[in-house]
Each structure stands twice: as C-alpha cells, then as structure tokens.
Amino acid sequence: MKHKLSYILCIFVAVIFAWSMNGRLGVYLCAMLLFALIVSAVIKRLVKNRISLKVFSKTTQVAKGDTIEISFEISKSTFVPTPFIEVCFSSSGNISPLSPERFRIALGFSKEPRTYRISYRANHCGMASIEVGSVTLIDYLGLFASKVKTESFKSRFGVLPVIHEISGQNELLRVCCDATAYDDNAEETDEATTIGMGVAGYEHREYVVGDPIKRINWKLSSKRDTLMIRLDEKLASASQAIVFDCSSEKEESEQYYKTRDIAAEGALAMSALMLRQGLTCDVYMSSNNQWEHIVIEDEGGLAQFQSSIADFIASSENAQSAADLIAENGNKVAMMFSNNSSYAVQTKVLAKEAGCDLYTVLPHTVTQISSADYSISDDFEFTNT
C-alpha cells in the first residue's frame, strides 16, 4: 500500500507540473512513470514461473540448547533480470530463529544459484518443525506481488530432553515403593540367626547411596531410624509405573513449553532414578493421540524413553484413558506426570476405580497446583502439596 501511494503521488506531481509549469516535460514524466509500470509488470510476469527453491536439512534429532542450521538454494532459468524475491520461513514454538526468517533477494541477470543459511536454537524438547511459509515475487516498483509455486518443504526433527539427576531420597518414589506389594513384615534379626526349622533369617546393613531402593526394609528402618538394606533376595521383582501425558493448547506460548518441559524431564529424571536404584519401570507415554509402552530395565530403555520424548507431539485426546491402560497391564501403583491439572485429577479418580493408586505430579507453574499430589520445581525438586 505504501508503494502504491508513492506511485500515485508521483503521477499527481507530474500532472501538476505539466499543467502549471512545463506541459511537454510533464507529459514526458507521466509517460516515463507509465512505461516503468508496464516494464516492471511484464518482467515480473516473465520470471514468475522460472524460479526454483531447494531447501536442505539433514537434522533428525538435536539436544536441547543446540543450534540447528538449514540452507536453501534459489535460482532462475531465464536471463531476464529478476525482481525482488521474498522467502519467508516459519517454525514451531519450541525453537527460535537466531536470524530473521524473512529474506529479500534480487538475482539480477545471473542464472547462478545462490545459497543462504538460517539458524535456530532448540529451546524446548519435543517434535519441532521448520517450513517454507511463502515465496513471493515483488515487481521493481513494489506495486505488485504474487506467490511463486515452489517445491513444498517441511523439516521435522526431535529435540532431546535433558536427563536431570534427582536425589535418591525422593519422597515420591519412597511412597510408591511403600505402596507396592512388598513384604515388609520381616522382624529384626541378628546376623546369622535362624527362624523355624533352621531357615536363614533376614540379614541387614545400613543403606549406602546407590543401593537398590527395593531392598530397603521400611518397617525395620522406621524402628532403627535409619535406612536398612536386606541382604537376601526375598523381595519379588515388582515394576513401578510412570504415565507421561501432556495435552496440547490452542495457543502454545513460551510458558506452555516451559511447563511441558518440566513435566517431561521430571518423568525422565524419575525413570533414571528408578534405573539407578535397580527398579524396573513401565512407562506409558501419550504422543499424537496414541499410547506408547516402554519398559526401562537398562540404559537402552532409558535412551528409548528420551528419544520418544524428543519425537513427542502433545495429544488433544486419547482413545483409551491412562487409568484403563495401567489396570490392563497389572500395575497397582503409578505416578502421572502431566501439564493439565483437571485431566490429572480425572485420571486419578478413574485409576482408583480400576484398583490402582495413582500419584499425580504437576509442574509448579500449572494453575490449581494444589489439586496435585506432588509438584516439581525448576530445579526438579519434588514437593508434597
């Protein structure tokens, strides 16, 4: 609009000049302006379908905080001087451009392709995308603009979450382990004592950081006021369960991504803690309206969970509720990490009806945080609400 007003003003000045001062010169000025308009429109018309754009990106996954670079090549197949070409990129909210996403390029007479680069920073975990928003050809006078049909491009890549280390004295994990069907009815016995028909009794020692948490005798520990570890193998193998389910929002703001990060990395940190403590962990993760079940028994399972979070797409709805999924797989105790307080409370009620104790965990930035059993801080400290 600005360029059109300027052009109309030039015509108006030329007409006034011809009428009041010099008629012949004013007519020449008007003719030149009209000729420039025609030439500009014709050139734009000639080169519109002679422009090609190629975008290159080999990124599949990047670590949170890393830089992603894509390049694009633009060229033309005619000797006619090309007017301005405006290339605009758009990206998802969990990455941010380190340079302007809009390029205005003039190729001139050269038919040689030109290469440009644009960089982004991966700010938040989850699936990210970069695409060509539009390619527009603008005539020399800036009066006419038209879209150029080029090869469509959309790059998708995962942003890996950070695996934070949390304290082994985590209250949430202790509560979940305490609620699981472990046999804590063994009484305190001295080393090498026997019970019944000469059957060896339980032997204990004090807890050392790094010991499997499932070997702790909570009843004996409460009596001695210090953590005590069983030295026998009586404890049956029991799997803990983690549910990770973050919902999408219509307007995905910076705060939304920050909250989602805390929930995702909180679930990942808890599963890493379970692995260090020698516990098997069943992870139920909702992504793109589908459930994924991951069993974490070793570092490979933890890496799979991390990779799945990198490819995570927030769900708007699920065909099956988390409560039904947990019950079907036989988990009696689970912890749920989410960014939606009302959904977490609803799932907790359904889980209770299905015979499962579900502990809800929400980032501290979530509204109605008091409805959760535990909250997570920016430093990944778990607090009982």
Do 155 and 116 meet the contact criterion of CB atoms below 8 Å apart?
no
What is the pTM for the complete model shown? 0.77
Q: How far apart are CA 315 and CA 339, in angstroms?
A: 11
pLDDT at 186: 43
Tokens (6 digits) for 117: 């680069």
Specify the DSSP class assigned to residue 329. T
Q: What is the pLDDT along the chain (385 residues), one digit of tens a residue?
A: 677 787 778 777 777 777 777 677 777 888 888 888 888 888 888 888 888 899 998 888 999 999 999 999 998 888 888 888 999 999 999 999 998 999 999 888 888 899 999 999 999 999 999 999 999 998 888 888 888 888 788 899 999 999 999 887 788 887 887 776 444 444 444 433 333 323 334 456 567 666 677 777 888 888 888 887 765 443 334 568 999 999 888 888 899 999 999 999 999 999 998 888 778 889 999 998 889 999 999 999 999 999 999 999 988 776 678 888 888 888 888 999 999 888 888 889 988 888 888 999 999 988 777 888 899 999 999 988 7
pLDDT at 43: 86
Tokens (6 digits) for 192: 């090498």
Q: For residue 243, list its beta bridge partners.
A: 284, 336
Q: 136 CB contacts (<8 Å, ≥6 apart)?
A: 85, 86, 88, 145, 146, 147, 148
For domain 171-179+238-384, give its CATH number from 2.30.30, 3.40.50, 3.30.70, 2.60.120: 3.40.50
pLDDT at 263: 95
Domain ranges across the chain: 2-48, 49-160, 171-179+238-384, 183-192+200-235
Comparing CA positions, the residue from 251, 315, 305 lying closest to residue 281 is 305
CATH for 49-160 is 2.60.40.680
SS3 content of the chain, % helix, strand, coil (to 5): 30, 30, 35
Specify the DSSP class assigned to residue 247. B
pLDDT single digits (tens) 306-334:
999 999 998 877 667 888 888 888 888 89
Upper half-sphere CA count for residue 28 (Cβ side, 13 Å): 4
